[in-house]
Amino acid sequence: MKILVTGGLGFIGSHTVVELLEDGYEVVVIDDLSNSSLEIIDCIQKITGKDFSFYQEDVCDLNALEKIFSEHKIDAVMHFAGYKAVGESVREPIMYYENNLVSTLHLCKKMLEHDCFNFIFSSSATVYGDPEKLPITEDCKVGGTTNPYGTTKYMIERILNDIHIANPKFTVMVLRYFNPIGAHESGLIGEKPNGIPNNLMPYIVRVASGELEILSIFGNDYDTPDGTGVRDYIHVVDLAKGHLCALKKAFDSEGIFYYNLGTGTGYSVLDLVKNFEKVNGVKVPYKIVERRPGDIASCYADPSKAYRELGWKAHFGLDEMMRDSYHYILKQHEDV
């Protein structure tokens, strides 16, 4: 089976490529390197001892897609490529809508032209907006997104539904990620944001390693046990494995399916800081500042549908997530 992975050198994409190769799939990656780098190819090869095809192209480029689909008989597509910085999406909405929507439309168009009917889409818990209940189940109301990035995910879900209705064989797995963190245990691949990180985990590891001075905790007056925001952090390797379970289901079903990929447990910002300090034996200095606009108090999954229907659940706990996130950043420093 041959799988096309868009954004396959990025954070979640690269971990999924590793799992696919280790499970015996053939892999074709398309990535424009806008938020990744060529050296990830060597890292994936080092981890798996296996090779894959690589195209340095933009997924919006129809000619590039045509070339890939004519050179390979693709059985399924996993679509990770996309812009994902919330703040940037507010400043550059056109860039976000254009890139995230056009890439998906072009991909689906080429898939249908080449009789490829299995599509795995990277969605996000952000589609639930401020959730109507906790834990969040897949039938909770979607929409009410608070930034263009989140709205692209919501709009793409709608588009995929319409494409499926018009083409019933076109099977879609919509995977709604909660908060992916951690890294491969080898320390060879992980999350490498450009510039100063916006998300919590990349920020914590950079404070711990001395690259940044102090963590700002955005508010301690939320209606949560310790007042700081609560999220469902999930190890990226667990998340990657979830894609393989979804892929297997796609191959023997027809339809559009929605799954929450989370652990089901919410941790606060302070839980993360304390656990990180305990597991890694380092201090993470922090200060409490104003709430970040657009943030919600709590967000965590009910992941039981994925367990029931895909046989998937997360195995790693917070300790492993903290350990692997830090191991990755320390290894990056060693290699410099």
How long a stretch of residues is the chain?
A: 336
- What is the nearest approach in angstroms of ligand UD1 to the Cβ of residue 27? 24
CB 47 within 8 A of CB 189: yes
Q: Which is nearer to ligand UD1, 277 or 295 (CB)?
A: 295
Q: Closest CB to ligand UD1 belongs to which residue?
A: 229
Q: Which is nearer to ligand UD1, 203 or 316 (CB)?
A: 203
What distances in angstroms separate CA 182 from CA 31, 39, 53, 210, one per listed residue? 22, 19, 26, 19
Whether 307 is catalytic: no
Residue 27 phi/psi, 5° resolution?
-130, 135
What are the structure tokens assigned to 204, written together?
A: 């914590």
Q: Which is nearer to ligand UD1, 226 or 254 (CB)?
A: 226
CB 17 within 8 A of CB 40: no
Would you say the C-alpha torsion 51, 29, 247, 327 has a positive or negative sign? positive
- What is the nearest approach in angstroms of ligand UD1 to the Cβ of residue 256? 21
- As a whole number of angstroms, the distance between CA 20 and CA 17 comes to 5
Q: Which is nearer to ligand UD1, 8 or 229 (CB)?
A: 229
Neighbouring residues of 308: CB distance < 8 A, sequence distance ≥ 6? none
**Strand duo 267-268 + 179-181: pairing:** unpaired
Helix or strand or coil: residue 142?
coil
Q: 311's torsion region: left (phi>0), alpha (psi -120 to 50) or beta?
A: left
- As a whole number of angstroms, the distance between CA 27 and CA 55 comes to 11
Q: Which residues bind ligand UD1 (CB under 6 A)?
A: 84, 86, 124, 126, 150, 179, 198-200, 203, 215-218, 229, 231, 269, 292, 294-295
- What is the nearest approach in angstroms of ligand UD1 to the Cβ of residue 81? 15
- As a whole number of angstroms, the distance between CA 107 and CA 157 comes to 14
- What is the nearest approach in angstroms of ligand UD1 to the Cβ of residue 232? 9
- What is the nearest approach in angstroms of ligand UD1 to the Cβ of residue 226? 12
Among 25, 149, 154, 222, the one annotated catalytic: 149
Q: Which is nearer to ligand UD1, 57 or 88 (CB)?
A: 88
- What is the nearest approach in angstroms of ligand UD1 to the Cβ of residue 300? 10
Q: Which is nearer to ligand UD1, 131 or 229 (CB)?
A: 229
Torsion of CA 117, 70, 21, 194, to 10 degrees: -90
DSSP track, 72-108: S--SEEEE--S---HHHHHH-HHHHHHHHHHHHHHHH
- What is the nearest approach in angstroms of ligand UD1 to the Cβ of residue 84? 5
Helix or strand or coil: residue 254?
coil
Q: Which is nearer to ligand UD1, 170 or 203 (CB)?
A: 203
- As a whole number of angstroms, the distance between CA 336 and CA 332 comes to 7
User: Catalytic site residues?
Assistant: 149
